[in-house]
Structure 1
Amino acid sequence: MYTSPPVRCHEYFPKNKRGSDFFVGDLHGEFKELQQLLKQINFNFSSDRLFATGDLIDRGSDSLKCLKLLNQDWFFSVLGNHELFLLEYDDDNLYKNMIWKKNGGSWFHSITDEEKILSRQLIVNNMKLTLTVNTHIGLVGIIHAEYPFRTWPKEDISELDKELLHQALWGRNIIKNKLVFYTKGAKLIISGHTSVALPVLLGNQLFLDTGAGSPPNESIYSPHLSICEVSEKHLKLHSLGYEPKYISIDG
């Protein structure tokens, strides 16, 4: 029998009246790169907030440090499929564990039993399937992969069947086929999961995973972390060591 992930389905964040909000793609263990990029954008840890697209762990060198960011009052993240690997870890399921190892999960076997318990607790206690952030341009939704509806938000997404939950955590159809549509109820939806050389906006869904933690390949010559700011007319995109790039929200 299928059971949904043991995390809450949705959380709403009111406008940040004290500082700015930023959005970051999949970290994949790149804690040091994140700290350097936050310094580059002058992130204020006392007043700003950072929202992540999930997949904090695996591939990079500091998965546990990235998970511990969930303890910070300025950091929030949706659940990614790599966190689901961890939640579903079972010593007796050799096949599933092999798949996780092939996707960067070896670090989990090098930490203590106490740290393994802590890792699971951090995910269950802090991660959600979807987040909504009220910004000065309207509602910004966050989901790891694809949002399977046409109106945001679906607050009972945790009650979905296995197929729709798989789309939310694993789906690649929109980005692979360059599908353009606009989800009602949100000004913007931000996702990660599928690595792209540069962030891609399709309709009102932004794909922000630019390959952090992965080696260079023929599609992404320079994998890196990307952080996004939103304004009325454009998205301001930051990466380490480069001047910001811009994407028009209206195309």
Structure 2
Amino acid sequence: MGRTFVISDIHGEITAFNQLLTEINYEPGTDQLILLGDYVDRGEDSNAVLDKVMELRELGAIVLKGNHEDMMIKALTSEEERLWRHWVDRNGGSETLRSYGFREEEYTVSPDLPFERPQLSSEALEKHLEFICSLDIYKEQNDFIFVHAGVHPETPIHETEERDFLWIRDPFHNGYCGEKKVVFGHTPTKYLYKEDTNHSIFFGDNNIIGIDGGAVYGGQLNCLELPGLHPHSVKIKPESSSE
């Protein structure tokens, strides 16, 4: 095995994703690609990103689930209005549904009527939901832990709840002190740096490495190359970002 590349939080930005794979000269079968989740929501084409991610897993990539995939699954398979609105109205689910060709009137629910989950039929969507349900939550190697959001600093990894792997922030950022380096996404690095214009990979003093460059917010799509901890990135043009 040659190089290892780690990418997270693509959020539908298919153009930047393809550009980044080209720039790092990723070679399936020789290099190892690890994707840390959040392929969907807010960006230009979540449908295309998931197609690409499925293709990459067939070629040997390790593909993990993010909290946005978790929200998507729950919204589209439960009958709870809270879960539907949390995804569609507040976390970019509407952009994802549009990428499958659904119109706004097909997925909008009226606040004045009893909730009924919209029945959305799409072969591509069903294929992607099945794929998402098959994804692992974390990957542990000799010197690294790869995960979407982080690990709980006080809980053994094999006892950690799935929600922590997908959603944790401050307790992990401030409290982790393990021997293995944890590579994660989820939290845009500008918040870790506390600098609104710094989207670079964050190397914490406590063995945490944050790689979410806030691509979908006009930042950059980052890639960490191992074992040398070498950063790569693609800047996002402002017009392709989504607030």
Q: TM-score range by the shorter chain?
A: 0.7 to 0.9
User: Following TM superposition, by how much is the alpha carbon of 1:239 offset from its aligned partner in structure 2, in angstroms?
Assistant: 0.8
* 2:195 corresponds to 1:208: no
Residue 144 in structure 1 maps to residue 127 in structure 2: no
Deviation, structure 1 residue 117: 1.2
Please, which runs of 5 or more residues in structure 2 have no aligned partner?
101-120, 190-198, 236-243
1:83 aligns to what? 69
Q: Which residue of 2 aligns with 1:191?
A: 184
Match of 2:233 in 1: 239
User: Structure 2 counterpart of 1:70, which letter?
Assistant: M
Question: What SS does structure 1 have at the residue aligned with 2:225?
Answer: strand
CA contact (8 A) 2:152 2:168 kept: no
Greater percentage in strand: 1
- In structure 2, the residue matched to 1:11 is none
Assess, with a 3 A threshold, how the Cα gap between structure 1 residues 180 and 198 changes in structure 2: closer, same or farther: farther
TM-score by length of 1: 0.71
Q: Does 1:70 align with 2:54?
A: yes
The answer to whether the 8 A contact 2:41-2:95 is kept is: yes
> Which amino acid is 1:119 matched to?
H
Structure 1: state its 5+ residue gaps.
1-15, 217-222, 242-251
Residue 80 (structure 1) shift: 0.7
Asked whether the equivalents of residues 48 and 74 of structure 1 are also in contact (C-alpha less than 8 Å), the reply is no
SS of match in other structure, 2:33: strand
For 2:155 and 2:167, the matched residues in 1 are separated by 20
Partners of 1:180 and 1:93 in 2: how far apart? Answer: 34
TM-score (norm 2): 0.73
Rounded to whole Å, the distance in 2 between the matches of 1:174 and 1:192 is 15
C-alpha distance in 1, partners of 2:81/2:175?
40
1:5-154 equivalences in 2 (<5 Å): 16=1, 19-68=2-51, 69-72=53-56, 73-89=59-75, 90=77, 92-101=79-88, 102-110=90-98, 111=100, 112-125=121-134, 127-133=135-141, 138-149=142-153, 154=157
Alpha-carbon separation, structure 2, partners of 1:109 and 1:235: 36
Alignment partner, residue 169 of structure 1:
166
Give the alignment's Cα RMSD to 1 decimal.
Answer: 2.3
Tell me the number of residue pairs that the alignment of Structure 1 and Structure 2 aligns.
Answer: 199
CA distance in 1, matches of 2:216, 2:182: 23
SS in 2 for 1:64: helix
Q: Which has the higher helix share?
A: 2
| 8 Å Cα contact 2:9/2:212 also seen in 1 | yes
